Amino acid sequence: MKVLNFGSLNIDYTYQVEHIVNPKETISSLGLEVFPGGKGLNQSIALAKAGAEVYHAGLIGEDGLFLKEVCSSNHVHTDYIKESDTRTGNAIIQVSSAGENSIILFPGANRQNTKAYVDEVLGHFEEGDILLLQNEINEVDYLIEKGKEKGMTVAFNPSPFDDYVRKCDLTKVDLFFVNEVEGEQITGEKLPENIIACMREQFPEAEIVLTLGENGAIWSGKNENIAVPAVPAEAVDTTAAGDTFTGYFLAAVIEGRNKRQALERAAMASAMAVAKKGASISIPWKEEVDQKIGSE
């Protein structure tokens, strides 16, 4: 079973600030660091570091060629990453002294995908493979449709949530990864149990993973819900927490672990990631997570 992650590749410009800037306010940053990022790249690296075989597809500009090298060095297959004439997508990230973040995305090359490119890449995958998607690229609706036609398992993290997500046929999604904000945007509900109930009604055939930050996470299937607590962590940078969770959960399921074990491993990996600065570079390797779990 292979994983195709058709997703974003970004250059992250991360500014350290005392607090997230408010409207009409100007503040000075305490520092600037440049990291590889993008939800797609982060999730591919999380999958690879967790031991899964993952292929990344997406577009970069000439300024982002190093992102392909970053993927390769982290055991992500880069056969389907292509170069575009458009500047690489980037993110302006504020990280507060409390470890919270605020992000502005510039899509760049991430929104230059074509249906022909999608068809070319999907031609290398088959029934039973996993197609992982986020909402930082274009042609997501087409990818969901064509991935489902091929019999692939479609996993979708609808972030950042916008009107484009509503245009997608979400009934064809097999596995959702959502946080409380995205859950509310999809359902109109605020309480976790209501989000789950509403999504179960809307998408009865799908599995749902709802992440709740310091309140843990919930997996929901047709006849069962499983909840696990968060792993306590001193947050330094939460930028890749959700992406780490997604990658480690999927990798654990591919390994044959049950859903509770997958949630627990994902929670541990996510806690380890937020304790370090940066996005993809903060994601721990499988051996580190194994050691941490073994010492608990």
Is 243 a residue of the active site? yes
Residue 212 marked in a binding site:
yes
Residue 244 marked in a binding site:
no
Residue 129 marked in a binding site:
no
**Burial class of 104 by CB neighbour count within 10 A (0 to 12, 13 to 18, 19+):** exposed
Residue 10 marked in a binding site:
yes
Residue 5 marked in a binding site:
no
What's the CA gap between 201 and 147, in Å, rounded?
A: 23
Under 8 Å between Cβ of 180 and 214: no
Residue 239 marked in a binding site:
yes
Residue 68 marked in a binding site:
no
Residue 42 marked in a binding site:
yes
Residue 38 marked in a binding site:
yes
Under 8 Å between Cβ of 213 and 180: yes
H or E segment to which residue 296 belongs: none
Residue 243 marked in a binding site:
yes
Q: Which residues of 115-124 are buried (b: 16+ CB within 10 A; e: fewer)?
A: eebbeebbee
What are the distances in angstroms from CA 173 to CA 32, 262, 271? Answer: 38, 20, 27
Residue 41 marked in a binding site:
yes
Determine how many CB atoms are found less than 10 A away from the CB of residue 163: 6
Residue 28 marked in a binding site:
no
Residue 295 marked in a binding site:
no
Residue 179 marked in a binding site:
yes
Under 8 Å between Cβ of 46 and 67: no
Residue 7 marked in a binding site:
no
Task: Tell me which DSSP letter residue 154 carries.
Answer: E
Q: Give the CA angle between residues 174, 179, 182 to the nearest 5°.
A: 80
Choosing from 63, 79, 169, 243, which is the catalytic residue? Answer: 243
Smallest CA-to-CA distance from 228 within 198, 205, 197, 260 is with: 260
What's the CA gap between 136 and 83, in Å, rounded?
A: 17
Which segments are annotated as binding site for substrate? 10-12, 38-42, 136, 243
Which segments are annotated as binding site for ATP? 179, 211-216, 242-243
Which segments are annotated as binding site for K(+)? 237, 239, 273, 276, 278, 282
- Residues identified as active-site: 243
Which segments are annotated as binding site? 10-12, 38-42, 136, 179, 211-216, 237, 239, 242-243, 273, 276, 278, 282
